[in-house]
Amino acid sequence: MPIAEPAQTRSPARFAALGGAAAVVLTVVLVGGLDLYRLTESSRHLRRTISEYALGPYRWAFDTGVLLLVLGSVVILAVLVRQGLAKWHSAGSLAFSAWSAGLTLVVIFPKNDWSIGPSLSGSIHRFGSMVAFIALPVAMVLLARPWLRDPVWAAHARWTFRFGLLSALAFTPILYAILVNAVVGTSWWRVIPLGYVERLLVLTEVVAVLVAGVWAVAAAHPARPAPGAQPAYKLSSTSR
């Protein structure tokens, strides 16, 4: 009688998903570590944006952290696509790609050094950060929506969807500040405590990426087939 045996005990896709999630965690460790280190000196720096680190001696840590987040995001998306949970040309995947592209611009083009004045680099930096902040909530919501009622992936999809909405909510203070600037004329970065708001937004969005990473790890588990696929197994010819 044929005996069913597991066809695979290790999955390259799962290792990739774990690596992507680990890269996101390292981002939190690096950038969060900078904040904790600076807190030993003063809390005043928290009023400034995180990108301020790129203008000083800690640029290597900031750039490394953001690039790790880009790498982790790309890998997580690739695994979700590989496992059949998304398609490269879908709106959710394109928005996730825009998040990564925006973060890459943030690294390549440092923010304005206001001791010198505005610059083209600073304008591109601001554009990249806005693209990233807006694209990530859209990506999480769109990637999760088709799976909210799926019998296997509903729980992961719901958590991803919720953090997408939470990320959008965390962005609303910046939208409010921009609206005040348009109506009243007050500089938008003076309307809100920008450094604190940005840190809350970044933390929320990074956790959203990590939640998607956990989903990718689960989807790539050898014992759980991709959507629409048959469970992977092979038949042993030993039958007596």
Is 232 inside a domain boundary? no
Return the half-sphere exposure (C-beta side, CA atoms, 13 A cut-off) of residue 47. 8
pLDDT-derived band at 4, boundaries 50, 70, 90 = very low
Is 240 inside a domain boundary? no
List pLDDT tens digits, range 180-216.
Answer: 988 888 887 788 888 899 999 999 999 999 999 999 9
Is 160 inside a domain boundary? yes
List pLDDT tens digits, range 127-142.
Answer: 999 999 999 999 999 9
Q: What's the burial of 55, exposed, middle or buried (CB within 10 Å: 0-12/13-18/19+)?
A: middle
Residue range(s) defining the domain that contains residue 62: 7-225
pLDDT-derived band at 229, boundaries 50, 70, 90 = very low
Q: What pLDDT is stored for residue 119 in this prediction?
A: 87
CA dist list (Å): 165 to 40, 125, 177, 198, 204: 34, 25, 20, 16, 10
Is 161 inside a domain boundary? yes
Rounded Cα–Cα distance for residues 199 and 48 (Å): 10
Q: What pLDDT is stored for residue 223 in this prediction?
A: 63
Rounded Cα–Cα distance for residues 197 and 188 (Å): 12
Beta bridge partners, 236, equal 3
pTM, entire model? 0.86
Q: Which positions ≥6 away from 115 have C-beta within 8 Å?
A: none
Query: Residue 169: phi, psi to the nearest 5?
Result: -65, -40
Is 165 inside a domain boundary? yes
Task: Tell me if 83 sits within 8 A of 71, measured CB to CB.
Answer: no
The number of folded domains in the chain is 1
Is 120 inside a domain boundary? yes
List pLDDT tens digits, range 44-82.
Answer: 777 888 988 888 888 999 999 999 999 999 999 999 999
Is 230 inside a domain boundary? no
Work out the percent of the chain whose per-residue pLDDT is above 70. 86
pLDDT-derived band at 230, boundaries 50, 70, 90 = very low
Is 239 inside a domain boundary? no
